[in-house]
Amino acid sequence: MVTTYTFQDFEAAPSRAEFIGSAIAAHKSSDAYRLALVADAYDRQENVTINEYARMLYSMKVTYDDEGNRKAGVGKSEDRTAANNKLASNFFNRLNTQRVQYSLGNGISFVQPDEEQTGEDEVKEAMGPGFDRRIAEGAYLACKHGVAFMFWNVDRVHAFPLTEFAPLYDERTGVLRAGIRFWQMDLTRPLSATLYTEDGFSDWLADDGVMRPLDRDGNPAESEVVQAYRTETAYTEADGEQIVGEQNYGSLPIVPMWASRLKQSTLVGMRAHIDAYDLVKSGFANDLQDCATAYWIVENAMGMSDADLAEFRDRLRLEHIAKVDGTDGARATQHTQEIPYAARQALLTELRNGIYEDFGALDVHTVAAGATNDHVDAAYQPMDENAADFEYWVGECVEQLVRLAGYEDSPVFQRNRISNQLEQVQMVTMEAQWLDAATVLRKLPNIRPDEVAAILRSVDAEAMNVYGYGQQPSEE
């Protein structure tokens, strides 16, 4: 049984060094961690199931018990002469990418439609550079592993995968109270770790299996050196740059990001469908390679043993010629055969449709060219339902990150979908006479909410110049 460590275990641990090592080892032994490693393999288009699959040869073998009684058994060995193509599909990466980019492909903003817009997203600016990319990275990790951990680091966000972070939840509330981030290039290299708590963080290193603390400069220390998340520095000519103030957030600046209310990897459930699809596809390729075109029936060769027949088969397969040794009139007659195609193709199509349907994704092949928005909306309905759940959990994480930055706001998602944009623009144009300019711009499919105010200001400035208002051009 694998022990799951909690925040209460952390508080009661007599030795921080021993606890960190044990917590990391327990995390690596957990079902969630092992599933995350498998999900990483499928994400790289490496199907774990078919990679471990090998064709076996079965043969009867006779054995005897202690009393000399004859008994039969079955022996098996890997068939190294049979084709063993392993064709892995890319469904896992493709569908997770579609789910993330559908909601986050256009980025998120904090400009609410009913608020006065200045054209500047102050909250978005405060969240630091690459905020949209980090949120999309975390969301993809959450889909793949079931959860990602978003770290608010003073003025920017970082995403920690489950394979590099051991969470320590509170036993009573379920809130993340502490955690250990760890990384190691390979098993022969030192294991680095950082312990994150509400009171600050500390760095650790194990190069011989024993975890030891490090100081601020990364050098070995006698005892744990806890550093604050926010520091204030000052520079003097006499002392150089010195830390003059330290401050924490009052809560752990790491927020779990879940991808759905199920709080599990999207590989759960999907794996069986992907394995079935890949096995059928690989099996079809193997059959075509092994015996698709012809086979021979040997007649009047009663003197041929099983070994002779096996040699005959191998010669035909490898050299495409063989002779028959046996009684008079022995001959080999060639026959051709067709590999069943229609049934396998129908099964592959059914499996593919099932994968898309169960995941709630959009198969673009089902949307005909020139389809009306009604048809497009119908095709997107399952995806919209899953996106609503996905955006709820991502939005909850973003709101907590924004709160750590000192703001109170909720994100706005602009879904990235194909549509008949001409039809949408025509509809908005027909309604424009009853709407104000800001509402019209917000309804246009190719304009983001945070662009509306800047466009309105530009239009107003141009109109003032055209009618002779505003600043006059310089005589120079």
171-182, pLDDT tens digit by residue?
999 999 999 999
Q: Quick one: CA torsion of 31, 395, 399, 145, rounded to 10 degrees?
A: 20
Out of 21-35, 206-220, 230-244, 436-450, give the one with best mean pLDDT.
Answer: 21-35
Task: Give 324's Cβ-side CA count (13 Å radius).
Answer: 16
Distance CA(103)–CA(416), nearest Å, equals: 6
Q: Is residue 108 part of a domain?
A: no
Dist CA 467 CA 445 (whole Å): 30
pLDDT at residue 11 above 90?
Answer: yes
> What average pLDDT does the segment 395-419 reach?
89
**CA 413, CA 402: separation in Å to the nearest integer?**
15
- Tens of pLDDT, residue by residue over 87-111, are 889 999 999 999 999 999 988 988 7
- State the pLDDT confidence band at 231, using cuts at 50, 70 and 90: confident
Domain of 308 in residue numbering reads as: 294-336
In a domain, 226, yes or no: no
In a domain, 189, yes or no: no
Residue count of the chain, please give it: 476
- Running DSSP on this structure, what letter comes out for residue 160? E
Q: How confident is the model at residue 453 (pLDDT cuts 50, 70, 90)?
A: confident
| DSSP assigned state of 297 | E
HSE (side-chain half, CA atoms, 13 Å) at 81: 10
Q: Token pair 């304009």 is at which residue?
A: 447
Q: Is there a contact between 131 and 121 (Cβ–Cβ < 8 Å)?
A: no
Task: Using the predicted structure, report yes or no on whether residue 74 has a pLDDT greater than 60.
Answer: no
State which of 311, 336, 361 marks the end of a domain: 336
Residue from 357, 143, 355 nearest 270 by CA: 355
* Interacting residues of 287 by C-beta distance below 8 A, sequence separation 6+: 83, 339
Q: pLDDT at position 5, please?
A: 93
Q: How far apart are CA 116 and CA 111, in angstroms?
A: 9
Strand partners, 333: 297
Q: Categorize the per-residue pLDDT at 292 as very low, low, confident or very high, splitting at 50, 70 and 90.
A: very low
The per-residue b/e assignment along 101-126, b for 16 or more CB within 10 angstroms, e otherwise, is ebbbbbbbbbbeeeeebeeebebbee
Dig out the tokens for 181 from the structure. Answer: 């981030």
pLDDT for 196 equals 97
pLDDT at 30: 94
Is residue 14's pLDDT more than 70?
Answer: yes
What percent of the chain is modeled with pLDDT above 70? 72
Residue at which a domain ends, from 282, 312, 336: 336
Q: Would 197 be classed as within a structural domain?
A: no
Helix H or strand E encompassing 462: helix 452-466
Burial class (CB in 10 A: 0-12, 13-18, 19+), 77: exposed
Helix axes 31-43 and 131-145, enclosed angle (nearest 10): 110
Note the pLDDT of residue 243. Answer: 65
What's the rounded Cα separation, in Å, for the pair 111 and 108?
9
Q: Does 129 have pLDDT greater than 80?
A: yes
**Residue at 441 is within a domain:** yes
Is 102 part of a structural domain of the chain?
no
- What's the pLDDT score for residue 334? 65
Q: What are phi and psi of 257, to 5 degrees?
A: -115, 115
pLDDT tens sequence across 329-355 = 667 676 666 667 788 889 899 999 999
| Distance (Å, whole) CA 61 – CA 164 | 50
Residue 314 lies in a domain: yes
Q: What is the mean pLDDT of residues 3-24?
A: 93
Are 32 and 264 within 8 A, CB to CB? no
Residue the block writes with tokens 């789910």 = 99
Band of residue 473 on the pLDDT scale cut at 50, 70, 90? very low
Q: What mean pLDDT do residues 241-269 have?
A: 88
Cβ contacts of residue 200 below 8 Å, gap of 6+?
Answer: 226, 227, 228, 229, 246, 248
Predicted pLDDT at 70: 59
200 pLDDT band, cuts 50/70/90, is very high
**Last residue of some domain: 336, 359, 393?**
336
| Mean model confidence pLDDT for the chain | 81
Q: Is residue 181 part of a domain?
A: no
pLDDT score of 37 more than 90: yes
Structure confidence at residue 16 (pLDDT):
94
Give the pLDDT mean for 389-416.
93
Number of domain units in the chain: 2
